[in-house]
Structure 1
Amino acid sequence: MSKLEKIEESVASLDSEDFAAFSRWFELLQAKRWDEAFDRDARASGKLSELADEALAEHRAGRTRQL
């Protein structure tokens, strides 16, 4: 049995209270990892700055509209 299969089996066997606590913890972990990856990517590639510059240029050229 793989490590993932063992985790799946363990999670599936949790009672309602423990499952709810696990779910809250897992959601926080996912959010933390997403934030870390986003920050890392933003610093490493400069992609967000490029997109922001492009959007501002489009706006200045009058090619945007109010949402």
Structure 2
Amino acid sequence: MLIRDETFVRNPRTAPILMTEAVWIGYKAAAPNSVSVTKPLFHLVTLTVPSYTGKVFAGDVHYPVFKE
């Protein structure tokens, strides 16, 4: 009988594009009718970024219509 003691570390996967709240607000103001603004392509995430204490938004540029 083999007994093993292992530790697994799970790192959550984040979307490929991360932006600060200030950038997200600026983007929404500059392109309010963009698909990435009107569809839920970006969302607030809980993420620790060194030297930054504000909100972080994550998303992907692959529009849902093109995903399989």
TM-score interval, normalised by the smaller of the two chains: under 0.3
TM-score (norm 1): 0.24
Relative contact order, higher structure (CA 8 A, sep 6+): 2
Please identify which structure carries the higher helix content. 1
Please identify which structure carries the higher strand content. 2
TM-score (norm 2): 0.24
Larger C-alpha radius of gyration, 1 or 2? Answer: 1
